[in-house]
Chain A
């Protein structure tokens, strides 16, 4: 707090969080932001306080901050930068009588209390236009803000509850109240907000307010796409008679406006042509669901004959996301989108009509619901997103394990990586990390041809020193004979979710991938093949791999059930290993698996409840009562070569 500042100034901030005792550096994703510890009157650093310098050339918008702590790098928090002056909510302002004055063209950083309404006042001038906005969800807050402007008597005049800015032209001079609360009156430290009040000329467009990106947006834009489209739709083009003539390829921007808008385009197609249609709107963060219908138009006397050629809606999720039910049934990240990527095959020569509309737009009038329509020849490609592997934990425990990559010695962490394949691309995608800290290795269980999911394993040696690196994480493949690399955009929870039954997770994309090694703590158990080698087996035969357990903790329970990850071996039956033993073995039956000859990389994973003992100087109480922590245990990657069976 505050969660942002004005360019060209410096701002004192206080941080809160779990396990941040003795925190060190505060790191930002933009070099224009730099933080130093705040010193007290004696020149000693004050706990959890920093002074952030915001260089004058720092771009406005949102940036991300992370903290280096004893346990390694922290999760990310948004830090906003802008040109308006900033204040911090001072005393409680829960009533009209205690309303806090908010100057026009300023921002207040506040925190919502439970079952409360924060009150502000400002002096309005009749006929002047004011825009009130509350950044909350877009800056990792849990607050679903409701904005109200009330008259001098506190009577509500206008209300906005859908996360939009409130655009208000005053009908009276004088004092007005601003009220803000959560949509279900929740509150607490995670319900912070930045409330801005700006005066704008009556004709000025609404300013854009930066926000974090949804996970689905990782597949946008296609590589090499120009920032701006080449042309725009021309209203009114709702009816076929007013269809906008276009030629392919095309790149058109438009909006689903007004309500029930249907944008109609016509082009001439030639039999046998293949085009790819892509629409982005939901991936811009808009609450839209585009749909495209393409019909062939033939004329039979005075009547048109329409034949459906293609209908597109939604980019399929690369893997089934969680339904947030009691049992784990998929990751809480959805890489799919309500946008469109689809293949268009022209079956007949002649006129074709394309209708683009918003399935959610029947009654809504919001010109900000923009889209971009691209029709192109096939440009095979892929986009990647990654997150920490989730799995079923004990007794329906739904702890979200999207933790920062703060590695303990001896640990192997699995990242789940998904791909959206574009324009028919179906090649193998290798997963690669570069710039890892010392003592850390990464091996990717590649995304097989035509598949959309892979695993990346990051292992810290138990002797790896304390360190931090921003690593490059990308996928590599051959497209049209050329090697291409595409970044893996990491996703994480906006805040930790203890129980997704009670609270729906809120994932988003994060900037960059810092990996740290704590150097102070160790994984409760490490599992690896007894020998680091390529294990060879003949197709159709069995192989037994001895496993070595390096145990560093007590556990609740004695058995660890393991599943197998890695193409060709996903169907290995679950097997148990003893948490009380230093070794075990696993037998892989290639006959049952029907794994064809080739080189494979696999890993075993499961969950265990460890008795966690902090490495920090413990108090007597902490030492006597270790804390149960549910951990995902992943083995080091194991290389297997399946040799062809000898011909009989």
Chain B
């Protein structure tokens, strides 16, 4: 994926980049009077004065002259000025040097375009007069020299203050200081770029003035100057008095409640047993509780019965099915050809069995990364069938297992991160010795380690790079050692700064709807977590547990923070990042389909799978084609490593499907289905209503619901002409209608 093409970068939710681009667009032409205009007598540095001005003005943004290909109308600049040497060539020498006029600087094409004296698609970028305009004129007048080799090197950028508590509705001015290798520090506030990581919480002006909105929580402003970034972290307190907090059951509660206390956001109370059981069953096993589970849970007087319920769910095969469904989507287990069926089934099964056996996460990832052999003998090699190119491999591994998006660094220095192209290609070097041998099955290779020195070439510099981990050196790898094993060693090291953090954040999001870092696979210094203490504690717990995924799920779900009610109080209704209440979520497509099947006592039949297979156990994306339900409710096609490929938003098509689709109707009318059975049953109306509520919502009906239900069952049914219809048919229709109504309630549609 080429980050210089905005559409490609935006495809899978690269929020940060989207914001960056919009921020660049919002810049107005320079008219400020506080910038450091250069006097004629002071030498102007191309690297440290000119390029930052071009960046601030947006000239070298991805949609302007740094556009992939040939820039804009043949004038090409490096993205955000990351390659000043190339920019100099482009400005001064390309097109036979016509862009500058040393004899008459103001007549330079560069300035006449930028000030819109000549038609310019980008409009006015530099007002004349302005300090910035003068700086450019002076640089040209001084001979438009290139100081790429000699300019003072930018060492760091500091934002002041770097953190603060700022009340809702108030403001904070930021100041940006640049430090150089051999010259005094400079205030570069006017030429720095600012970017809020949550515009709903804080807006920042081009001049660095941060304006808080009304939402409480944590917000960060990324500050970029040339290739350096810095972050301002703001805490926005609500400031409400907190009289009581739920008891803390573990370190998760310690961190969540401490944060709420600092922010002054009173949490909702603990949810009731019925809500808990339904919630945790849906979140861990992807299904509503079974009759046996409900009965046993409600009958239990044990003080630890919630914990026992969690343990039971973690032992269930549905836990493995549900999480295998999650993982195989991100690992791109997709069927492009009918012959893919074997590889897709075995790969899904490998993930599912690993989860069932609670294989340590680091071991699982190791088996995948360094997979060798054949599909049947070693199913993780299927990943190398799906993800064939080293470029794809490095990007998927970084995003999925490390929470680092490396795509941008393939072509240029990462705009929001410290990663350079050398970092990208050094990381990809781990995958350069993956050998392939053909098998009898077309499209399937045997994967092996090809002896040789692992190295990748930076396509821009031509430098040949040995494997290096992100921000970490790796000891020399002998030619007969598989570099992927060394990568796996590095990843599973307890000191790895990404690996455990990425998975605990991903799992946190699974249970809380929002990651501590959001998006969950974009962990970087410039996108800080909303609760760093909690993220650190989870990371520590996970490593200490031996990368135990079930233990991670248990510590999260057994916390009172997870068990808070979804009902907001008068203070926390606006809170969407501090976990002061449970954030309801629409059931995902497969879970929803299974829940409807459970409620209607019907089963959805899937090709090549035994009758009774639940939708959460489907091995690949091919089943979406035959199921409009799965498609309309957003089941992913397993094309992306990003979980955002799953569509969780609501749509008119979903509503229409629930109202009128054939498959819903046929489930309601299933012979010997629940409606049919209840219609024929001798049970009392009350018992029937109770059964329906129990299955649909895992709770007893309230008195008003019970009465309304009983009344509904007693209503006479007439045909279009107003004549009473056959009692047996009427009875069936009544129960079909009632179940249909329950399916369409928010309580059923959502995990809450």
Residues of B within 8 A of A186 (CB): 608
**Least distance between A163 CB and chain B CB atoms (Å):** 7
Contact, CB under 8 Å: A362 / B315: no
Q: How far does the alpha carbon of A311 sit from the alpha carbon of B378 in the complex, in Å?
A: 25
Q: Which of B55-63, B276-284, B366-374, B552-560 contacts A (4 or more CB under 8 A)?
A: B366-374
Contact, CB under 8 Å: B378 / A155: no
The 8 A CB mask of A338-376 against B (1 = contact, 0 = none) is 000000000000000001010111111000000000000
User: Which one of B342, B438, B449, B610 contacts A183 once the chains associate, using CB atoms below 8 Å?
Assistant: B342
A135 close to B (CB within 8 Å): no
Contact, CB under 8 Å: B610 / A116: yes
Q: Which of B109-117, B349-357, B392-400, B508-516 contacts A (4 or more CB under 8 A)?
A: B349-357
Q: How far does the alpha carbon of A322 sit from the alpha carbon of B485 in the complex, in Å?
A: 33
Q: Which of A243-251, A286-294, A386-394, A400-408 contacts B (4 or more CB under 8 A)?
A: A286-294
Report the nearest A residue to B444, measured CB to CB: A504
Contact, CB under 8 Å: B372 / A360: yes
The 8 A CB mask of A125-164 against B (1 = contact, 0 = none) is 0000000000000000000101000000001101101110
**Least distance between B448 CB and chain A CB atoms (Å):** 4
Residues of A within 8 A of B440 (CB): 321-324, 332, 334, 504-505
Given contacts A185-B609, A360-B446, A361-B372, contact A161 B353 (CB under 8 A): yes
A325 close to B (CB within 8 Å): yes
Q: How far does the alpha carbon of A201 sit from the alpha carbon of B25 in the complex, in Å?
A: 74
**Least distance between B435 CB and chain A CB atoms (Å):** 7
User: Which one of B316, B338, B346, B366 contacts A363 once the chains associate, using CB atoms below 8 Å?
Assistant: B366
User: Which one of A287, A291, A357, A502 contacts B373 once the chains associate, using CB atoms below 8 Å?
Assistant: A287
The 8 A CB mask of B438-471 against A (1 = contact, 0 = none) is 1011100010110100000000000000000000
Q: How far does the alpha carbon of A393 sit from the alpha carbon of B567 in the complex, in Å?
A: 71
**Least distance between A299 CB and chain B CB atoms (Å):** 18
Contact, CB under 8 Å: B372 / A359: yes
Report the nearest A residue to B316, measured CB to CB: A155
B377 close to A (CB within 8 Å): yes
Residues of A within 8 A of B482 (CB): 260, 362
Q: How far does the alpha carbon of A453 sit from the alpha carbon of B167 in the complex, in Å?
A: 85
Contact, CB under 8 Å: B353 / A162: no
The 8 A CB mask of B496-538 against A (1 = contact, 0 = none) is 0000000000000000000000000000000000000000000
Residues of B within 8 A of A332 (CB): 440
Contact, CB under 8 Å: B485 / A260: yes
Q: How far does the alpha carbon of A363 sit from the alpha carbon of B440 in the complex, in Å?
A: 23
A184 close to B (CB within 8 Å): yes
Residues of B within 8 A of A163 (CB): 376
Contact, CB under 8 Å: B609 / A287: no
Contact, CB under 8 Å: A362 / B608: no
Q: Which of B377, B480, B609 neighbours the largest number of chain A CB atoms within 10 Å of its CB?
A: B377
B484 close to A (CB within 8 Å): yes
A594 close to B (CB within 8 Å): no
**Least distance between B55 CB and chain A CB atoms (Å):** 45
Q: Which of B435, B438, B448 neighbours the largest number of chain A CB atoms within 10 Å of its CB?
A: B448
Q: How far does the alpha carbon of A308 sit from the alpha carbon of B442 in the complex, in Å?
A: 35
User: Which one of B442, B446, B610 contacts A117 once the chains associate, using CB atoms below 8 Å?
Assistant: B610
Given contacts A161-B346, A183-B342, A183-B349, contact A362 B480 (CB under 8 A): no
**Least distance between A1 CB and chain B CB atoms (Å):** 23
Residues of B within 8 A of A158 (CB): 357
The 8 A CB mask of A287-317 against B (1 = contact, 0 = none) is 1010101000000000000000001000000
Q: How far does the alpha carbon of A362 sit from the alpha carbon of B488 in the complex, in Å?
A: 11
Given contacts A162-B377, A362-B484, contact A155 B317 (CB under 8 A): yes
A115 close to B (CB within 8 Å): yes
Contact, CB under 8 Å: A311 / B372: no
**Least distance between B492 CB and chain A CB atoms (Å):** 12
Contact, CB under 8 Å: B610 / A115: yes
B625 close to A (CB within 8 Å): no
Contact, CB under 8 Å: A183 / B317: no
Residues of B within 8 A of A323 (CB): 438, 440, 442
A181 close to B (CB within 8 Å): yes
B660 close to A (CB within 8 Å): no
Q: How far does the alpha carbon of A146 sit from the alpha carbon of B376 in the complex, in Å?
A: 11
Among B287-335, those with CB < 8 Å from A are: 315-317, 320
**Least distance between B616 CB and chain A CB atoms (Å):** 14
Q: Which of A116, A289, A311 neighbours the largest number of chain B CB atoms within 10 Å of its CB?
A: A289
Report the nearest A residue to B292, measured CB to CB: A153
Report the nearest A residue to B345, measured CB to CB: A184
The 8 A CB mask of B374-410 against A (1 = contact, 0 = none) is 1011111000000000000000000000000000000
B684 close to A (CB within 8 Å): no
Contact, CB under 8 Å: A355 / B356: no
Residues of A within 8 A of B378 (CB): 162, 287, 360, 363-364
User: Which one of B315, B346, B435 contacts A155 once the chains associate, using CB atoms below 8 Å?
Assistant: B315
Tell me how many residue pairs across A and B have CB atoms closer than 8 Å: 108
**Least distance between B371 CB and chain A CB atoms (Å):** 7
Report the nearest A residue to B317, measured CB to CB: A156
Contact, CB under 8 Å: B608 / A184: yes
Q: How far does the alpha carbon of A161 sit from the alpha carbon of B379 in the complex, in Å?
A: 10
Residues of A within 8 A of B356 (CB): 156, 159
Contact, CB under 8 Å: A293 / B367: no
Contact, CB under 8 Å: A159 / B349: yes
Q: How far does the alpha carbon of A357 sit from the alpha carbon of B378 in the complex, in Å?
A: 17
Q: How far does the alpha carbon of A334 sit from the alpha carbon of B437 in the complex, in Å?
A: 14
Q: How far does the alpha carbon of A362 sit from the alpha carbon of B378 in the complex, in Å?
A: 11
Report the nearest A residue to B609, measured CB to CB: A185
Residues of A within 8 A of B451 (CB): 291, 293, 311
Contact, CB under 8 Å: A293 / B608: no
Given contacts A116-B610, A184-B341, A505-B440, contact A287 B485 (CB under 8 A): no
Among B658-712, those with CB < 8 Å from A are: none
Residues of B within 8 A of A321 (CB): 440
B611 close to A (CB within 8 Å): yes
Contact, CB under 8 Å: A359 / B608: no
Q: How far does the alpha carbon of A186 sit from the alpha carbon of B609 in the complex, in Å?
A: 9
Contact, CB under 8 Å: A362 / B372: yes
Q: Which of A184, A287, A332 neighbours the largest number of chain B CB atoms within 10 Å of its CB?
A: A184
Q: How far does the alpha carbon of A363 sit from the alpha carbon of B380 in the complex, in Å?
A: 10
Contact, CB under 8 Å: A159 / B610: no
Residues of B within 8 A of A181 (CB): 610
Contact, CB under 8 Å: B342 / A115: no
Contact, CB under 8 Å: B608 / A325: no
Residues of B within 8 A of A291 (CB): 451
Q: How far does the alpha carbon of A116 sit from the alpha carbon of B608 in the complex, in Å?
A: 9
Report the nearest B residue to A506, measured CB to CB: B440
**Least distance between A234 CB and chain B CB atoms (Å):** 21
Q: How far does the alpha carbon of A144 sit from the alpha carbon of B376 in the complex, in Å?
A: 9
Contact, CB under 8 Å: A364 / B373: yes
Given contacts A156-B356, A505-B440, contact A362 B449 (CB under 8 A): yes
Contact, CB under 8 Å: B317 / A359: no
Residues of A within 8 A of B350 (CB): 161
Q: How far does the alpha carbon of A505 sit from the alpha carbon of B442 in the complex, in Å?
A: 12
Contact, CB under 8 Å: A355 / B376: no
User: Which one of A116, A156, A325 contacts B442 once the chains associate, using CB atoms below 8 Å?
Assistant: A325
Q: How far does the alpha carbon of A159 sit from the alpha carbon of B320 in the complex, in Å?
A: 12
Residues of A within 8 A of B437 (CB): 289
Residues of B within 8 A of A322 (CB): 440
Residues of A within 8 A of B338 (CB): 502
Q: A155-B317, A156-B317, A363-B366 are in contact. List 15 more A-B contacts (CB 8 A).
A: A115-B608, A144-B376, A155-B315, A159-B357, A184-B342, A185-B609, A260-B482, A287-B378, A289-B372, A293-B480, A361-B372, A362-B372, A362-B485, A363-B371, A505-B440
Q: Using CB atoms and an 8 Å cutoff, list the residues of chain A in contact with chain B.
A: 115-117, 144, 146, 155-156, 158-159, 161-163, 181, 183-186, 260, 262, 287, 289, 291, 293, 311, 321-325, 332, 334, 355, 357, 359-364, 502, 504-505
The 11 sampled A-B contact pairs (Cβ below 8 Å) are: A115-B609, A156-B320, A156-B356, A158-B357, A183-B342, A183-B346, A291-B451, A334-B440, A361-B372, A363-B366, A363-B485
- Sorted nearest first, the 8 A-B pairs with minimum C-beta distance are A287-B377, A360-B373, A359-B448, A156-B317, A360-B372, A362-B370, A159-B353, A363-B367
